[in-house]
Amino acid sequence: MVEFFFKPKKNRVNVKPHHLCQKKKLVQEIRDTIITSILCLFLYIIGLSLGLSIFISAFTFLMLPTGKFIFTRYIHKAVKMPAKERRPKRIILIRHGQSEGNADSKIYSHIPDNQVKLTNKGIKQAIAAGKCLKKEIPEKETVRFFVSPYKRSRQTFENILVGWKILTENYTVREEPRLREQDWGNFQDYDEITKSRKERQLFGSFYYRFPRGESGADVFDRVSSFWGSLHREFKNKNCLENFVIVSHGITIRMMLMRYFKWSVEEYHQLWNPENCQIIILEKQPNGSYKLKNSLIRNRTPEEQEEYENENESNLEVVRNSETKEHFLVAGKKINEVRDSGN
């Protein structure tokens, strides 16, 4: 409309900072609105004095876009609900139940990783997780599931529903390939994987790339992309009240690392969650999320040295043990309090 009365300026070569351009654009819009309003009033007065319907029509024609601009620029923005208010109350991360690969790692040599199924114990763990979620989430709240396409994750989701008994109309589900397990290669030779595990321990699990597979950094990249998709869902006016993500141990750690902006060293200190362990991120008043659960981490070198000095009798047990159970006893529970609004 304003281009009818004002000739637009030619594009300039120099580029101004974004905030200055936005400020200049707003000032220009306000100026054009004032001038257009004065013109509308002038036409309306002429129309009344002369009794000419053409001036009344012109006034109506000009006032409609002016009123629309004022509404969209000021009134609509004032009543529009902030994006953070539409975020889910909880984001819940669940690792799959015990799989055949967890029970016997040699199975990967002849069964594709994506086809590995749950054990009977894993099925029971998933049903139990569903019962826990039923207590955690009020009955009438809505839930959106994001599930890894691997068979063990899909079976976990199905058995969570068995334990939960959630109403069909209260949830939706989407299969999400970016939530898949870290790729360790195709059919995995047991001796080669054992060697790779030792190399990864020396190299660092975040950066180490399995032959014909992924590094931890690769998983971090696709998890970052998934977080971006979640944030776009947050802005949806139909965003559901709870997000439940059924995935894998390393993938879940990477999701937490990405959101809380943990360093690589902090990532290396944390253990994978247990099978069907439930990790809850609760929304805070400012719209960000905070861990409700405690996580298990290894000691830093300084903490380990202090522990060894205090526990001389257990020194050899701690040094020689490579099992998770000892580290669970030796480690500390932490409740992540650092937060990020991204």
Active site residues: 96, 181
d(CA 265, CA 107): 31
The closest of 212, 219, 294, 228 to 257, measured between CA atoms, is: 219
d(CA 144, CA 179): 15
Largest CA distance in the chain: 106
Within 10 angstroms of residue 141's Cβ, the number of other Cβ atoms is 15
> Residue 273: is it exposed, middle or buried by C-beta count within 10 angstroms (0-12/13-18/19+)?
buried
Only one residue has tokens 């993500």, namely: 245
User: If residue 280 lies in a helix (H) or strand (E), which one and from where to where?
Assistant: strand 278-283
The closest of 127, 126, 99 to 113, measured between CA atoms, is: 99
Mention every residue, 6+ apart, whose C-beta is less than 8 A from residue 57.
none
User: What are the DSSP calls for 196-234, one per residue?
Assistant: HHHHHHHH-TTT-B-TTS-BHHHHHHHHHHHHHHHHHHH
Q: Are strands 295-297 and 332-334 parallel, antiparallel or unpaired?
A: antiparallel
